[in-house]
Chain A
Amino acid sequence: MTAKKHLPRLVGITSVLEHPITQNFLIPLFAVVLSFAVGAIFIVMVGKNPFEVYSILFSQTLGSTYGIGQLLFKTTPLIFAGLSVALCFRAGLFNIGAEGQLQIGAFLTALVGMKTFGVPFYLEIPLLMLAGMVGGGLWGFIPGYLKAKTGAHEVINTIMLNFIATALVSYFVTNLYNVPATVHTPPISPAGRLPRFDAFVSGFQGSPVNFSIFVALIAALFVWYYVDRTRYGYELRVVGLNSKAAEYGGISVSKNIILSMTIGGAIAGLVGTNFVMGYKYYFEEGFSTGTGFMGIAVALLGNNNPFGVILAALLFGMLEYGGLVINTMVPKELVSILQAIVIIFVISSNKIFRKILTNFLKKRTLSIND
């Protein structure tokens, strides 16, 4: 056998490696399986049987309609946050501010909702979504504007705006708009409430999944179309790839920075559709425990591609709800460790896995050539 004869075969394998299905699906899947194996070590360390823990994790998330409903409910806000971060990434911006944007957006959704009783639902629902987008959009616009006009780094400014958002919302909720002896606002108008799945399919009974997941899917379609199919999206991508070249080519960098941060913020601001319009019908202080930050991991894992974001959000949604499910068996701290292990493995898997596989193939090819 000669090396020449063998070449096409190696190329064939490389192309399998680079095939989108391998890249976007098989490698992450492999990483997930591997991370569960590592997680098992920790589970054994606390004296539990990993098979039992994992079997409950899977059977109670994927094994029943109720579990799937819970999983989808957890997935929805992660899609919004992931899309927000991904869109900004494509423009070369690191949006750490999704958490603040979604807090402001969800709060405004609730605020407008509780002040607008009597509006018909076909106006109320878009109105409340708009309120969320305006709130989140404003919170994205500010760091975008500062970056474009003064060069102030968006990472620092979005982190600071997270603090401001959390504090502001907390102040408003507990001082001005709370129902006495609670940490939440009064309910929004019934017209602004999105239907829950369990109103149609009895298997979802009790799980809070609601129509806002369709809003999230539409948002993903929008991001895909906007970034990959429009002139604005083209400009955004060019700015992200090389801002100097963009400027030289007549594309306004500052306009695109402001625009993408604002749109990203507006998408994050839609998180309120899930919790406020679809679940509790009020805003509650502390309703989001770091969804915005999880959005960064979702965007990275989804390769900043809107459809990848949906898949990544599903995985993370499963981990979030699965963490709650297995909490009766293992301590809360272990749940956090397991979730983090999966994330680390999945995000770093691509390169490591590829390297191992290529080395393996190379060795084999050499030995065959010998």
Chain B
Amino acid sequence: MKKGFSVFLTVVLLSGAAFLFESCGKGQPSASPNSEVGLVFDVGGRGDKSFNDAAYQGLQMAKDSLGIKYQYIEPGGGSDRESALRQLANQKSIGLIFGVGFIFTDDITNVAKDFPDKKFACIDYSYDPSKPLPPNLIAIEFREEEGSFLVGAIAGLMTKTNTVGFIGGMESPLIRKFQAGYEAGVKYVNPKAKILVAYAGVTGEAFKNPAKGKELALSQYSQGADIIYHAAGVTGLGVFEAAREMKKYAIGVDLDQWNEAPGYVLTSMVKKGNVAVYDIIKQWKENKFKGGTAEVFGLKDNGVDFVYDKNNQPLIPESVYQKVEALRLQIINGQIKVPTQ
């Protein structure tokens, strides 16, 4: 009897397993090849109210207006990035794969070489012109310095104490681009203004430390700064807290950060990861994908911008806005060259 029972159990389990394996072969819906888009997020994934979310918005936009289907992966540690890219590249239905963040640079280059039939794009790829890119890979870069120049100009025009601040996250070439553009913008409209600069640290942790951000901001406000621009990820949330406490202005970054401290966020320098993702998908869909190069998104391409909407219009005088818009045109025409260092 008992033997009978265990035999029965075994048969049930085995047939269950067999069913699982059986369904492997035909389980996947057969989408037409190379019709979908894959995306691998940076560690942190969706919900960071910043870059990953912007990339996700881009996918949504492509879904809504181009009718694209997409799949994404949120990897854990260092060895997962390459596996995740390969995982997506191995699927017949996927034709274009994104990596979000500079940390994908090495991984996506390797994977792109192994999958010459698929297209790849990497946001914030650290592009080294001396090393050629695989022909099926686009390096997406942003002219953060151009957007930073414009918010710098707003700060330079609006400061009453003639002192403004900049708080960066991790000290690195990428964040120094924000600083350089901002400083140039301030100086362009207000050569006598004083600019206080502070960085939260030299490691990746410097992007995740709101307490440190608040401390640095309080110190700059007490030294006379009345507007602070941050490029510090989550650390920047501390800057907004300080702004609210001191009743001074702060400038947000990456996305519109008005909601972090309504009334105290003068504007935000937005880096449109969503526009970049959407544009690349559109190019790819129209068979206009140009790999092997860096695709740069600046003011001209609407890849960077500053926020001026019904929330912050009361804070920024019309005359300031007009002057900054004039500067935008000058940058787009090439009359103003914005430094990156």
Contacts and interface: CB of A to CB of B under 8 A. Distances in A.
A63 interface: yes
A345 interface: no
B75 interface: yes
Given A183-B103, A321-B83, A328-B87, 19 more contacts: A33-B13, A52-B23, A55-B23, A56-B24, A58-B24, A59-B25, A66-B90, A174-B204, A175-B203, A275-B79, A279-B79, A280-B78, A285-B203, A286-B204, A324-B76, A328-B72, A328-B88, A332-B45, A364-B1
A52 B75 contact: no
16 contacts: A33-B13, A51-B19, A51-B23, A54-B20, A58-B21, A59-B24, A63-B21, A174-B170, A208-B79, A275-B78, A280-B78, A286-B43, A287-B78, A324-B83, A327-B84, A328-B88
B82 interface: yes
B173 interface: yes
Interface string A40-68: 00000000000110111011100100100
Interface string B102-134: 110110000100100000000000100000000
B20 A55 contact: yes
B87 A325 contact: yes
Interface in A1-27: 13
A60 B73 CA distance: 15
Nearest to A325: B87
B276 to A, nearest CB: 19
A206 interface: yes
B203 A73 contact: no
Nearest to A336: B76
Contacts of A328: 38, 71-73, 87-88
A157 interface: no
Contact of A205 (B88, B114, B203): B114
Contacts of B76: 289, 323-324
Contacts of A52: 23, 27
B204 A287 contact: no
B172 interface: yes
A228 to B, nearest CB: 32
A27 B203 CA distance: 46
Interface in A306-344: 321, 323-325, 327-328, 331-332
Given A328-B73, A332-B45, A73 B79 contact: yes
B246 interface: no
B203 A174 contact: yes
Contact of B86 (A174, A206, A284, A289): A206
A287 B77 contact: yes
Interface in B12-48: 13, 16, 19-21, 23-25, 27-28, 38, 43, 45
A82 B43 CA distance: 25
Interface residues on A, range: 35 or more
B283 to A, nearest CB: 23
Determine chain A's interface SS by DSSP, over half rule: helix
Contacts of B260: none
B136 to A, nearest CB: 16
A364 B75 contact: no
Contact of A284 (B1, B24, B78, B114): B78
A33 B203 CA distance: 43
Contacts of A56: 24, 27-28
A170 interface: yes
A206 B173 CA distance: 31
Interface string B252-274: 00000000000000000000000
Nearest to B41: A332
Contacts of A275: 78-79
Contacts of A289: 76-78, 80
B174 A181 contact: yes
B7 to A, nearest CB: 14
A276 to B, nearest CB: 11
B202 interface: yes
Given A33-B13, A175-B202, A324 B87 contact: yes
A152 interface: no
Contact of B77 (A171, A174, A286): A286
Contacts of B111: 206
B2 interface: yes
Given A73-B79, A324-B80, A59 B114 contact: no
B77 A55 contact: no
B205 interface: yes
A249 interface: no
A180 interface: yes
Contacts of B71: 328
List 4 A-B pairs, minimum CB-CB distance, nearest first.
Answer: A289-B77, A59-B24, A287-B78, A328-B71
A174 to B, nearest CB: 4
B73 to A, nearest CB: 5
A202 B243 CA distance: 59
A173 to B, nearest CB: 8
A254 interface: no
Interface string B186-210: 0000000000000000111100000
B295 interface: no
A288 interface: yes
A59 B79 contact: no
B126 A364 contact: no
A214 B54 CA distance: 43
A321 B75 CA distance: 10
Contacts of B19: 51
Contacts of A55: 20-21, 23-24, 27
B279 interface: no
B74 A332 contact: yes
B76 to A, nearest CB: 5
Contact of B126 (A63, A73, A182, A321): A182
Nearest to A328: B71
